[in-house]
Amino acid sequence: MAIELSLFSNSVTTLVTHLTSYYGDDAELETYVICVRVKAPDIPGGSGLNWIVGPNGHQRAPGVLRGVLEALENGDTNGHGA
């Protein structure tokens, strides 16, 4: 599987720029999730999710992932999850 790291790097840069531009120094990021949808013919249903969560983030990760997927599937690009 080939991975284009520039896409990942650009996404991380965009996220960090957004966070530092809109939130003050006293803001805390409680959970981070890196989520990918892998599409391949040998995966049941044609695609599968893989994710990495931050320390102690495993309890909230499924809910965060559902929100992200719903936003993507509904075309929500405002970054607010609503």
Residue labelled with tokens 């970054």 = 79
| Residue 36 located in a structural domain | yes
Which domain range does residue 58 map to? 30-82
Does the residue 47 lie in any domain?
yes
Is this prediction's pTM over 0.75?
A: no
39 vs 49: CA distance, rounded Å = 9
For residue 4, tell me if it sits in a domain.
Answer: no
3 assigned to some structural domain: no
At 26-77, the pLDDT tens digits run 888 766 667 777 888 888 888 887 777 776 666 776 777 777 777 777 765 5
Give the DSSP H/E element, type plus range, for residue 4. Answer: none
**How many domains are contained in the chain?**
1
Task: Decide if 35 is inside a domain.
Answer: yes
